[in-house]
Amino acid sequence: MDIQIPNLRHLRVFLAVCELKSITRASERIYLSQPAITQAIAKLEKQLETHLFERHSDGMYPTESGILWQKRVTRSLEYLRDSTAELLKDPSLKENLSANVLAQISTTQLKALVAVCDVQNFSIASRNLGVSQSSVHRAARDLEKLLGIALFEKTNTGINATDAAKALTKASKLAFSELRQGIYEIHALQYQDVSTISLGSMPLARTTILPKSILRFGDQHPDVNVNVIEGPYPDLLHHLRHGDIDIVLGALRYPAPADDVIQEELWNPPLSIICRADHPLLRLETVTAEDLANCAWVVPASGTPTRTAFKALFDQADCTPPTRIVESSSQILIRELLLGSDRLTLISRHQMERELDLGLLKILSYPLEHTRRPIGLCVRKNWLPTITQSHFLSVLREICDQFR
């Protein structure tokens, strides 16, 4: 479902009418004519396909949809207000000037900013937005002029976004995410829950927790889409903090990787050493660390929890670690390397559950209780999930309870 971000001016009008309960009083507050306010509300209601206000003799009151929308719009504009306040340089003018600036920023300007920052290129950004390059240039330059700061710097290879542009882009993405949440909530209220749950998933979750959760959740929400983003943990964390995704599911990091996210442990499985079914080490009565060190391995990259556990395995045995290593987190590649050679891997058994059940791979007996690693959720600290998203989280927790 393609979600169109509403006009920021219409959102500010909507909040003014919510607060003052009157188009007349809102007109005096925000210096717009009453017909202009009426038209803005009508356009917003048409876009959202719902009535936002009930008209009574003593004023205008938000409907149930309007109350939901008011909450999301307020949170959305708070992200932009806080960000623009930080960007303005003169502390003595900060509060009043930030309000004036925010009142003039347009959705078009912010969409252009986000598009250019994402790809660091005006031409690509214009194609992604489906508008002319000159339109993107104009919107970005107008925003620079309005803020009185540089957002982009020319380099030999193109352009770079300034720190100010990156900060405002993050706030814009979070603001847009809130508005999408609000639109999903309104549609669900009208019994049209066709929302999208966007999450990032690490390898362990993709092979166990996530597919079972999606299947169970889909039985109850057949029209809700689930968008799963895969990638390295740093990339997923970046997308989470910028509002591109709302959940990261996988191995947790301690301490928490940033102060604006929180983690929830769901499961704490140990790792296993896995090899092909006729591996020579399976014939030994007792496998030593030296035996393991003499083998070739396929393990994740340095800095990952599993690679840390791999190193600790040999450090604790005071043994020189293996030198014949392939680095990869691809389950498909790992499986093929194990099946075609005497390589070993350190991985959760659940990631190779199907191959183990078929007898293609086996677990090598070796004490690894110390390798338990917490698996769970990472979300933004101030994230407010919709009812649908909350139910998806409940399903994830139920599935993890079964695994435990």
The 10s digit of each residue's pLDDT in 158-177 is 789 999 999 999 999 999 99
DSSP 257-277: S-TTEEEEEEE-PPPEEEEET
CA pair distance 152, 276, nearest whole angstrom: 53
Q: Tokens 């932009």: give the residue.
A: 80
Closest CA to 180 of 168, 167, 194: 194
Give the whole-angstrom CA distance, residue 169 versus residue 205. Answer: 30
Closest by CA to 323, choosing from 311, 338, 333, is 311
Containing H/E element for 247? strand 247-251
pLDDT reading at 90 higher than 60: no
Q: E strands, 143-186, where?
A: 152-155, 158-161
Preceding peptide of 255 cis, ω within 30°: yes
CA–CA separation, 149 and 83 (whole Å): 13
- Do 272-369 and 193-268+375-403 have the same topology in CATH? yes
Domain boundaries, the chain: 8-171, 193-268+375-403, 272-369
Q: Which token pair is 151?
A: 């957002």
The fold of 193-268+375-403 is D-Maltodextrin-Binding Protein; domain 2 (3.40.190)
For the chain, percent of residues with pLDDT exceeding 70: 97
Q: Assign 49 a pLDDT band (cuts: 50, 70, 90).
A: very high
Give which of 379, 382, 378 is closest to 74, Cα–Cα.
382
Mean pLDDT of 346-375: 90
Predicted structure pTM score: 0.84
Q: Which two tokens stand for residue 184?
A: 């999903």
Task: Give CB contacts under 8 A, 24+ apart, made by 140-143.
Answer: 140/109, 140/112, 140/113, 140/116, 142/109, 143/105, 143/109, 143/110, 143/112, 143/113
Identity at 247, one-letter amino acid code: I
Q: Give the position of tokens 């698996």.
A: 375
Q: Check: CATH 1.50.40.10 for 272-369?
A: no
CB 94, CB 85: distance < 8 Å: yes
pLDDT value at position 99? 60
The tokens describing 86, both together, are: 């930080």
The closest of 218, 223, 211, 345 to 272, measured between CA atoms, is: 345
Average pLDDT over residues 375-388: 94
Residue 375: predicted pLDDT: 87
**pLDDT band for position 1 (cuts 50, 70, 90):** low
* Residue entry with tokens 């896995």: 274
CATH class of 8-171: mainly alpha
Give the span between the Cα atoms of 194 and 74, in whole angstroms. 23
The tokens for 272 are 């296993």
Q: Are 333 and 285 contacting, i.e. CB atoms less than 8 angstroms apart? A: no
Mean pLDDT calculated for residue range 263-287: 93
> Phi and psi (nearest 5°) for 232?
-60, 150
Contact 152, 165 (CB under 8 A): yes
Average pLDDT over residues 21-42: 93
- Residues in a beta bridge with 158: 155
Sheet-wide strand order for 345-347: 345-347, 272-276, 361-364
Of the pLDDT bands very low, low, confident and very high (cuts 50, 70, 90), residue 137 is very high
CB 310 within 8 A of CB 186: no
* Range of weakest confidence among 70-74, 98-102, 207-211: 98-102
The pLDDT mean for the chain works out to 91
Q: What's the mean pLDDT in 23-39?
A: 92
Largest CA distance in the chain: 87
8 Å CB contact between 29 and 53: no
Could you tell me the two tokens for 261? 């996210």
Q: Which of 337, 340, 312, 309 shows the shortest CA–CA distance to 325? A: 337
Pairwise CA distance, residues 81 & 72, whole Å:
14
User: Residue 326: in which H helix or E strand, if any?
Assistant: strand 325-327
